[in-house]
Amino acid sequence: MREVNIAVIGATGAVGMEFLRILEERQFPADHIRLTASQRSVGKRIPVRGQELVVQATGPESLEGVDIAFISATSRVSLEMGAAAVEAGALAIDDSSAFRMRPDVPLVVPEVNGEDVEWHQGIIAIPNCATTPLVMAAQPLHRHNPVSRIVASTYQSVSGAGGAAMTELREQTRGAFQGGAPPPQAQPHQIAFNVIPRIDDFGPDGYTKEETKVREETRKIMHSPGLAVAATCVRVPVYVSHSAAVHMEFQHPMDADEARGILAEAPGITVVDAPEEGLYPMPVDVGGTDDVYVGRIRKDTSHPNGLVMWVVADNLRKGAALNAIQIAEEVLKRDCLKPGGKAAVAAASQSLND
């Protein structure tokens, strides 16, 4: 595998820091690594692969000589740096929602639709951290027995809202014992000892943007524009790892044991499903690991062709940083660092309209 120069845009954020850890763990073939962040983090020193790297200010010059830019900052930074990357001939792998639904931008979970990296035009998007575990669990079953409907209720950790939300949960919780909790700022309401049925803003249809992302991104990644999807996205007082109670309906009846077997063999999935022994996935166990964990797989008593399951993944890793690095690995493996031609775009549009 060739070595590449990379830039990590937003290196000091919760996802950025995780990204650097995973880069080391996986010995990603990076030749030169540049770290950038917003003005207030400039000059910070971050140890990476035994070296101290100095954080620079994010700007178009961040992309000089760069092959791959990982972007995890604000949507505004993504829009600017994504365009700058295309201009500079670098590949942007972007963690924001800015590009995800654009027909010329592949939205990729390598285990699900790795082939889609081939038609990139300079930008590849990472799905929302609530979408990724869902498609990871659905696609292997879908290949076997088409999924016609997905209903998900999520239990999402505060790290999905960034480092400030993690600090806020800690300080609010401490305040419950010692007094003096600061008012909510990173979250719209108190999150300590509470659950908030709202992540991101509301659309006119009563769904939050987060819930709409889960629906639209699932359809795009699974190449199933007609798939019926509905989500309720809820914030819970957990630091890391998103969980979801998921109902799937299939074209034909689906046996729970069969589903368990299919998922156990699917790459990137660990089945933890021996409930009578107290074994099912939970955020405290899953945080810091790479796989999507599936448990509590059972027949849906309310639908003849349905299954219910419980899906948990580390939202900072598989939900964001790990998936980004896996996309880069997929690009290198398929040798498609440089954008494809118009044929690729046409193929992409077609696959989206299947």
**Interface positions with a second copy (CB under 8 A):** 149-151, 153, 155, 169, 173-174, 176-177, 188-190, 193-198, 202, 205-208, 215, 228-230, 232, 234, 236-239, 243, 245, 247, 256, 275-276, 278, 280-284, 295-303, 306, 308, 310
E strands in 29-136: 30-37, 45-48, 51-54, 56-57, 68-71, 91-94, 123-125
End-to-end CA distance of the chain: 34
Q: Which strands, in side-by-side order, build the sheet including 91-94?
A: 56-57, 30-37, 4-9, 68-71, 91-94, 123-125
Catalytic-labelled residue, pool 120, 129, 142, 233: 129
- Please state the closest distance from residue 212 (CB atom) to a second copy, in A: 9
- C-alpha distance from residue 39 to each of 19, 42, 57, 82 (Å): 20, 5, 6, 19
The angle formed by the CA atoms of residues 349, 330 and 313, to the nearest 5 degrees, is 95
- C-alpha distance from residue 330 to each of 23, 88, 132, 227, 325 (Å): 14, 21, 16, 26, 9
- Please state the closest distance from residue 102 (CB atom) to a second copy, in A: 21
- Please state the closest distance from residue 275 (CB atom) to a second copy, in A: 5
Spatial CB neighbours of 143, under 8 Å, sequence gap ≥ 6: none
Catalytic-labelled residue, pool 242, 247, 252, 303: 242
Q: Is 233 a catalytic residue?
A: no
Q: Is 32 a catalytic residue?
A: no
Catalytic residues: 129, 242
